[in-house]
Structure 1
Amino acid sequence: METGTTYQNYLQTMQNYQLSNGRKEYQAPYAQKFEVIFNKAQEADIKLSNAKEFLHSLSPAELTTLQKYSGLADKIDINSLSNEGAYNLLMHDNQQFDFNNDGTAEVGAAKRMLAVPINMPQDVKDAYISAMNSLSDKDKMTAMILTFDTARLNSVINNKPYTPVKMDYEYLSTQVQNHLNPTNGAYTSDEAKASITAFWNAFNAAYKGEKLQADNSNEQSSDVSKFLKDLHTKGAAQFLADLNTEKIEKQAQEYKDKLIKELGDSPENMNKIEKLVADFKKKLLEEMQNSLDNDKKTVPINANELAQIILDTQHKKTRPLEELLALL
């Protein structure tokens, strides 16, 4: 099998892509015989350079199996095939690739769009696959029009070099809007709109969910690092005292905001509110001191144990903890 980095990364991504039920049902009668051929090809260390040679070693029945499994209309004429067309014949659907970067994957004599375009950023690929896997066959087929590469069509019609279009989030968003709100005489059926909407909702859920998760992870890592740094610098007792003080200030501010909302912010009322807030903070401080006095009677706090408990409770990453422990 080809070992180029771009191809291997694509294979890794495509492991998560699920073929349509219709495609799997079509291939089912030929699947077992195809796997025998596929395994032979792997044993022969099949590559672009020797794929045609390997095809010449197969029997007419085996070539028919490849033809049927791949869904080709005509019998396979090995001598007319390109190296890419020969190689992709020997691969599963999710392993086929556009090696010459002309916008299509040659499979035998056929030229086909890849199920997941190469020219997508990785985060878009991942969300796209997640969305497509969630759709019915009908919705999946309809949604594929969103990634129809017009640059390839322009290349063929105008006999120009093919220049890939970057199919990022903005590109897909534009395609979706063009189909949902067609202009200049264009038309999209209600059924197609429903399929595209189903895809777009699923895509956004996956894409934005992954972005949110990554952002939260970075934010949490920063929070944990700060927590551990403070814990190491101040010591557990002082850290907890500062933490409680921050909580008191927050509660006092919330109490003050509530009083202003209830009583108004006239000068007379503000003087009254300031006094009430001061009394409130005094009460909270007394409660905190009583709590700390009681804690002194119990087992002393161990900084490492405290850090581990909090990290485990919040399901944080362990890297910041490891950094702290390296300092202790």
Structure 2
Amino acid sequence: MEVFKQYTEYVNIVKNLKEPGDLYKGTKEENQAFEDIYTKANNQEVKVSTAKEFIKTLSSFELDILKKFANLSNEINPDKLSSEGAYNLLMHHYEKFDFNNDGLIEVGENKVVPHIPRKLSNIEKQALVDTFNSLAFKDIMLASMTIISTQEIVPTSIGLQYYEIEPSSETIKNRVTTFTNYLDNQITDFVTLSQNEEDEKVLHMYKRIFETFFHSYNKRVDELKKEDKNL
């Protein structure tokens, strides 16, 4: 497994972060199955560079376990995984890391904005962990929205920048639909467990902000496509 200094320091700080509300709560058997996969990967000294090949050796049951613990909406296809995305599937939630230093953490085929960015100093990381741990659920969700909304994902031209972000507006729309459906399921599961009306309101607000944010993205993409056709 990866043990370089910056990663080890990151994990030692982030593992103290209060468990996120969307963390998958498996059965005793599922939790043991995940730990068995983790142990097997550790015994085989799996690295970021070898994670894809390791995942290809796993059974359909083991892949399903990884999917559940990573909260993925799609089945795991090893051939579609990046090295980082494959490795992070094998890790506990606090061990997932932005190995390629692009500002996002790849988990499976998904890319997520980390609560604790890699680029911060260790002092800043610890301060952010302490801050999150002191917040109520509602405030944590609002803080997460603030972090996400600062990401520059809306393209400004139809050229290289646009194509690097997403070559097809239909693809991004499908991904947004998949994620909002996933949010609906998560909201249902969370509310069933917490039975807290205030938490339910916060989650629905989170979903509305997410949909509004990506509506702006899709609108801009459509505008750029029209401009491109007129060139």
TM-score range, shorter chain: 0.5 to 0.7
Task: Specify the code of the residue in structure 2 equivalent to 1:46.
Answer: V
Distance in 2, matches of 1:77 and 1:11, equals 27
Q: Relative contact order, CA 8 A, sep 6+: which one is greater?
A: 2
CA drift of 1:149 comes to: 6.6
Distance in 2, matches of 1:62 and 1:19, equals 23
**Residue 291 of structure 1 corresponds to which residue in structure 2?**
none
CA contact (8 A) 1:85 1:109 kept: yes
SS of the residue corresponding to residue 106 of structure 2 reads strand
Alignment of 1:137-176 (within 5 A): 137-148=137-148, 150-153=150-153, 159=161
**Residue 119 of structure 2 corresponds to which residue in structure 1?**
119
CA drift of 1:157 comes to: 6.0
**Residue 25 of structure 2 corresponds to which residue in structure 1?**
27
CA drift of 1:144 comes to: 1.7
Alignment of 1:254-265 (within 5 A): none
**Residue 52 of structure 1 corresponds to which residue in structure 2?**
52
Q: Deviations over 1:4-63 (max 9, x none)?
A: 22212211211211212x334x33333232111111111111101110111111110000
Distance in 2, matches of 1:149 and 1:114, equals 13
1:101 matched to 2:101? The reply is yes
Bigger helix share: 1
**Residue 42 of structure 1 corresponds to which residue in structure 2?**
42
Q: 1:146 to 1:119 in 2, by over 3 A?
A: farther
CA contact (8 A) 2:101 2:118 kept: no
**Residue 70 of structure 1 corresponds to which residue in structure 2?**
70
**Residue 4 of structure 2 corresponds to which residue in structure 1?**
4
SS of the residue corresponding to residue 23 of structure 1 reads coil
Q: Deviations over 1:191-238 (max 9, x none)?
A: 98xxxxxxxxxxxxxxxxxxxxxxxxxxxxxxxxxxxxxxxxxxxxxx
CA drift of 1:91 comes to: 0.4
Task: Specify the code of the residue in structure 1 equivalent to 2:42.
Answer: Q
Distance in 1, matches of 2:116 and 2:45, equals 25
CA contact (8 A) 2:81 2:108 kept: yes
Query: Aligned-pair RMSD on alpha carbons?
Result: 2.4
Q: 1:12 to 1:120 in 2, by over 3 A?
A: same
Distance in 1, matches of 2:16 and 2:156, equals 34
CA contact (8 A) 1:105 1:112 kept: yes
Distance in 2, matches of 1:149 and 1:4, equals 31
Task: Specify the code of the residue in structure 2 equivalent to 1:23.
Answer: D
SS of the residue corresponding to residue 63 of structure 2 reads helix
CA contact (8 A) 2:2 2:47 kept: yes
CA drift of 1:151 comes to: 4.6
Larger radius of gyration: 1
CA contact (8 A) 1:86 1:108 kept: yes
Instruction: Give 5+ residue unaligned stretches, structure 1.
Output: 163-190, 193-328
1:136 matched to 2:136? The reply is yes
Q: Deviations over 1:258-305 (max 9, x none)?
A: xxxxxxxxxxxxxxxxxxxxxxxxxxxxxxxxxxxxxxxxxxxxxxxx
Distance in 2, matches of 1:95 and 1:125, equals 14
SS of the residue corresponding to residue 143 of structure 2 reads helix
Distance in 1, matches of 2:123 and 2:32, equals 34
SS of the residue corresponding to residue 106 of structure 1 reads strand
Distance in 2, matches of 1:149 and 1:131, equals 19
CA drift of 1:101 comes to: 1.6
Identity %: 37
Task: Specify the code of the residue in structure 1 equivalent to 2:25.
Answer: Q
The count of aligned residue pairs is: 161
**Residue 18 of structure 2 corresponds to which residue in structure 1?**
18
**Residue 87 of structure 2 corresponds to which residue in structure 1?**
87
Distance in 2, matches of 1:157 and 1:125, equals 31
CA contact (8 A) 1:11 1:94 kept: yes
Task: Specify the code of the residue in structure 2 equivalent to 1:54.
Answer: F
